[in-house]
Structure 1
Amino acid sequence: MSQTLIRNATIVAMDKVHGARPFTGDILIDGASIKAIGAALTAEPDTKIIDGRGKLVMPGLVNSHTHSSETFYRGRYERMPLEIWLLYAYPLLMNDPVGERLLYLRSLLLAMESLRNGVTTFCDDFFDPPRHDLDRLSTVFRAYDDAGIRANVSSAVMNIHTLDALPFAREVMPDDLKALLDFGPPITANAYMDYCRSAFASLHGKSSRLNFMIAPSAPQRCAPDLMLACMDLAVEKGVPFHTHILETKTQAVTGPLLYGKTLIAYMHDLGLLRRNTTIAHSVWVSDDDMRMMGEAGVSVAHNAISNLKLGAGIAPVRRLLDAGVTIGLGTDGVSSNDTSRIFDVMRVAGLVHSAAGPDYDQWLRAEEVLTMATIGGARTAMLEHVTGSLEVGKAADLLILNLRTYPFLPLNDVAKHLVYAENGSSVEMVMVAGRVVMQDGRLTTVDEEAIFDELAELMPAYLAEHAELERRNKAFEPTMAEIHRRSTEMDIGLNRYHG
């Protein structure tokens, strides 16, 4: 197998020894993995040598939570809380699923943008209603394999009717609209388990970079037997149980009204807070919630930009960390973020928590944010033994950045530059599993111009069709607006959960 030696580079390893403290050294890559890190390393005669002087080498970034199904809706929505936004990005009244070619291109485009901007691993909470189709899931896997990215991919599931998953819904929705929401019989736990086992057998691990993960959408959207079956299989296979909990005030109201307790307490009582549990958002959590989460060893994917754009709030990240919760960073989908750049999320996460209170000792440090974007994110994906830090034996998932660029001049503190100044523009090379997938501003695995040309041809008709779908679903907006209003005005002690 071929070797690559990066010599005399500034290294930010994010390992247990160095953390975010930079040091100068060499990295020897043998095939897909890191063979040695040190000074004056030797290599075989035919080893490719990369001069690391003036370069920064760091682990590839991990996007802990995204949705490829939103990739075509960038720049389309604003000024909508989640419950209204969902009507348009995830319509109640649906057309036929996007065709196979567009499904492939949609997935590929997300992987392309991610790799160009230093994301070498992401967790795609792929949602493809109205059914679970192994051939369509394999199309997503094929796109990610072609791009060269590392990914956990789900086929997100729910089996509780929308009217029963939202507080006040049956009360405030007009009967004529209720009549339109006939989704047929919900999927059973056994049927979903059969599907998941087929996905594990045919797709999981067939490429060393690509895994299947299990993603029950949210506790209020999934019956208990389905969630319990999902957890059992996640533990058996050693993959994340990836779900959404307490993103909005409406969801904070949902727990007490539907279950008589917070959604985290509901999960706890079902035995669903485990090491495998990765929670997207975790904005409206109480101190008791956080204590249970920390004791169980759960992870949180913090979606700082998406939570702001949808008006969901600011997750109590400092208190989550203090409680022992692992934190990774996620973009969420590009419709609620408008970018797949984790560099953007790092900057916002590093800044927004300074507005959470006057005690500046509690504000996040750059090193903590960088940890969330690398090894913390790998832990949320249950891939910390594979990626997230530069260590001997781990996969060679790494970035090489040029330090002679505006974000690093003059060079002061590397971690602070990466969090507050860099936006991905300094990334010169991206390597995944020892393979160079981006170099000198160009992807090596995909013909970007050809993909852009094809999308330019196909998008007008697709977006026109989606605009008609938006028009049909707009009828539900007054109902969702009323649910949002009632939830935000309820005073059941939830304000103490926030901030």
Structure 2
Amino acid sequence: MALVIRDADVITMDDHTGVTPVRRTIRIEGAVVDLVAADPADVPIAQGDTVVGGRDRLVCPGFVNAHTHSWEYLAKGRYDNLPLELWMLYAYPILGARPLPPDLVRLRSALFAVESLKSGTTTLVDDVLETPGQDLRQLDAVFDAYDEVGVRANISGHIINRPFVDTLPYVADWLPADVVAQVRAVPVPTTEDYLAFSTEAFARYAGRGDGRLRYMVAPSGPQRCTDDLLAAATELAVRHGAECHVHVLETKTQAVTGREFYGTTLVEHMRRIGALSPNTTLAHGVWTTDDDIAALAEAGTCVSHNPVSNLKLGSGIAPWRRYHDAGVPIGLGSDGCSSSDTPRLHDVIKAAALLHKVTDADHESWPTVAEVLGAATRGGARTAQLHHDVGTIEAGKQADLLVYDLTTLAFAPRNRAELQLVYSENGGSLRQVVVAGQVVVDEGRVTTVDEDSLLAELRERLPGVQAEQDRVEARNAVFHETFDRMHRTTAAEDVGVHRWSGTPAAR
């Protein structure tokens, strides 16, 4: 039995019609788009097929969240006015965190997937980090939750294999010696440990969710991982046709880190050790130089742009136009629910369309709606190594799509639907979400799990979760003054790249 969406306005994002809505009828057979036709008469209807009228409906590819952290979901709305390195003290605690039980990981992941689907994200690139470390039972819980909810995802084993005080400039010299010794005494995985874990994960999750769910490697960043691990993880990703997801040059501090640690930029360091590849995606890429961008383009390396998170953490503004002009593939990400406080990609899409209009006086260089929607769909699919499967609506691709109601206020008056999708719509007009041919959201309700039961369980467990967060934050406050000093020092340094205006006042 097939699902047919008849005579809808469709943004295919393919090479022929792109972002311009066209009247099309879509036939979905199983998990795959079987046919996209201009004339409904060209679409066969068999007995038992479900036919949905497309009048007053806008259909587009499901959004790809090209960089997010579901594990931050329990810290949503907890922090404000903290730059990345200070925020990480509390959201990614250095000391004292206890392993999260798998049943809580599963609850957290299910809620994150539900909220993502209900706002139009059908694919997640989920960089999952557990503190103090990740095991396969925790990773199983993420895969299990996503399998049940019905989202598509790349799910990582995030890895840091250097003591955290040795991943930042200056702090190891400024902190009390006993605190530094305490951090360095915390065991870190070896390269062999991570490769063995990842090799097992690739085998363990192969074909999971009928191919919707895939494992990816995620070395946290070139300053947080040893060179041998970063190079080996890149090679492993290429061998498995998977994504290698790495945080690079999110903040000015990281630009200073490259200079202090390697005498060059972090991108150039990655190039030298063989850690740039077509399978590599850099999360953020805010403080890149022109030479960095050229190196990324030559290697076929992608960038996930996360404007909302970069704004909230004061990290800076990524060089959108220079990436596009160089041919670097770009996706859009929400980042985590503690750094942007929502997984909604509609917010990110609008921010990306607006933010870069103030970075260049030449209005002809401003982001176009076609570029922004392209980044949210086929660009994100490219960063995730899923561009052969999703990102466009065309025959042979996976049937991941969104159906919007064009009779809502967001589309009134109905002028250019593609512009209104970017600038006017916030997800409130979304009526159906389809992943792999299955309607997983229908009229605002997820069809696969009981959302109310999930929320009830969260409310029951939240006091214990928050008490643990309070305890860990209090223990890690010992680093705050030194990390604040480090942030202010690096913010005042000249790295030859300008991605923000203003410098934090000295104390």
Give your verdict on TM over 0.5. yes
| Contact 1:15–1:390, Cα closer than 8 Å, also in 2 | yes
Equivalent positions of 1:97-116 (< 5 A) are 97-116=99-118
Show CA shifts across 1:425-482 (max 9, x none): 1110001000110001111001111111111111012112211211111111001101
| Partner-residue secondary structure (3-state), 1:56 | strand
Letter in 2 for 1:459: L
| Partner-residue secondary structure (3-state), 1:294 | helix
Letter in 2 for 1:195: F
What is the rounded CA distance, in whole Å, between the counterparts of 2:208 and 2:192 in structure 1?
A: 24
- What residue is the counterpart of 1:141 in the other structure? 143
- What residue is the counterpart of 1:93 in the other structure? 95
Q: CA deviation at 1:272?
A: 1.5
- What residue is the counterpart of 1:486 in the other structure? 489
What is the rounded CA distance, in whole Å, between the counterparts of 2:309 and 2:499 in structure 1?
A: 22
| Partner-residue secondary structure (3-state), 1:431 | strand
- What residue is the counterpart of 2:344 in the other structure? 341
- What residue is the counterpart of 1:53 in the other structure? 55
- What residue is the counterpart of 1:3 in the other structure? 2
- What residue is the counterpart of 1:320 in the other structure? 323
Is the counterpart of residue 329 in structure 1 residue 328 in structure 2?
no
- More displaced 10-residue stretch of structure 1: 177-186 or 43-52: 177-186
| Contact 2:317–2:499, Cα closer than 8 Å, also in 1 | no
- What residue is the counterpart of 2:505 in the other structure? none
The counterpart of 1:464, out of the listed 464, 467, 472, is 467
| Partner-residue secondary structure (3-state), 2:275 | coil
Closer, same or farther: CA 23–466 of 1 in aligned 2, 3 Å: same
Letter in 2 for 1:49: V
- What residue is the counterpart of 1:181 in the other structure? 183
What is the rounded CA distance, in whole Å, between the counterparts of 1:110 and 1:293 in structure 2?
A: 31
| Contact 1:283–1:498, Cα closer than 8 Å, also in 2 | no
| Partner-residue secondary structure (3-state), 2:140 | helix
TM-score by length of 2: 0.96
Is the counterpart of residue 131 in structure 1 residue 133 in structure 2?
yes
Letter in 2 for 1:154: S
Equivalent positions of 1:271-420 (< 5 A) are 271-420=274-423
Letter in 2 for 1:263: L
What is the rounded CA distance, in whole Å, between the counterparts of 2:263 and 2:189 in structure 1?
A: 26
- More displaced 10-residue stretch of structure 1: 459-468 or 392-401: 459-468
- What residue is the counterpart of 2:250 in the other structure? 247
- More displaced 10-residue stretch of structure 1: 121-130 or 199-208: 199-208
| Contact 1:286–1:497, Cα closer than 8 Å, also in 2 | no
TM-score by length of 1: 0.98
| Partner-residue secondary structure (3-state), 1:453 | helix
Q: CA deviation at 1:10?
A: 0.3
The counterpart of 1:473, out of the listed 459, 470, 476, is 476
What is the rounded CA distance, in whole Å, between the counterparts of 2:241 and 2:419 in structure 1?
A: 34
| Partner-residue secondary structure (3-state), 2:12 | coil
- What residue is the counterpart of 2:438 in the other structure? 435
Letter in 1 for 2:349: M
What is the rounded CA distance, in whole Å, between the counterparts of 1:252 and 1:492 in structure 2?
A: 7
What is the rounded CA distance, in whole Å, between the counterparts of 1:205 and 1:174 in structure 2?
A: 49
Q: CA deviation at 1:274?
A: 1.1
Equivalent positions of 1:163-242 (< 5 A) are 163-207=165-209, 208-242=211-245
What is the rounded CA distance, in whole Å, between the counterparts of 2:94 and 2:408 in structure 1?
A: 47
Q: Which runs of 5+ in 1 are unaligned?
A: none
Letter in 1 for 2:152: R
What is the rounded CA distance, in whole Å, between the counterparts of 1:484 and 1:205 in structure 2?
A: 44
Show CA shifts across 1:332-374 (max 9, x none): 0011001111001001111111111211111111111000000
| Contact 2:155–2:216, Cα closer than 8 Å, also in 1 | yes
What is the rounded CA distance, in whole Å, between the counterparts of 1:204 and 1:122 in structure 2?
A: 17
- What residue is the counterpart of 1:32 in the other structure? 31
- What residue is the counterpart of 1:421 in the other structure? 424
What is the rounded CA distance, in whole Å, between the counterparts of 1:347 and 1:460 in structure 2?
A: 35
| Contact 1:285–1:498, Cα closer than 8 Å, also in 2 | no
| Partner-residue secondary structure (3-state), 1:495 | coil
- What residue is the counterpart of 1:65 in the other structure? 67
Letter in 1 for 2:178: D
Letter in 2 for 1:30: E
RMSD of aligned C-alpha atoms? Answer: 1.3
- More displaced 10-residue stretch of structure 1: 197-206 or 325-334: 197-206
Q: CA deviation at 1:266?
A: 0.5
Show CA shifts across 1:28-86 (max 9, x none): 00011000000211221211000000001110000000001100111111100000000
Letter in 1 for 2:353: G
Q: CA deviation at 1:163?
A: 2.0
The alignment covers a number of residue pairs equal to: 498
What is the rounded CA distance, in whole Å, between the counterparts of 1:391 and 1:139 in structure 2?
A: 33
| Contact 1:148–1:445, Cα closer than 8 Å, also in 2 | yes
Q: CA deviation at 1:232?
A: 1.0
What is the rounded CA distance, in whole Å, between the counterparts of 2:185 and 2:497 in structure 1?
A: 33
| Partner-residue secondary structure (3-state), 1:308 | helix
What is the rounded CA distance, in whole Å, between the counterparts of 1:444 and 1:247 in structure 2?
A: 37
Show CA shifts across 1:144-163 (max 9, x none): 00100000000101111222
What is the rounded CA distance, in whole Å, between the counterparts of 1:381 and 1:496 in structure 2?
A: 26
| Partner-residue secondary structure (3-state), 1:7 | strand
Show CA shifts across 1:221-276 (max 9, x none): 11111111101110100011100000001000011111000001101111211101
| Contact 1:314–1:498, Cα closer than 8 Å, also in 2 | no
| Contact 2:163–2:184, Cα closer than 8 Å, also in 1 | no
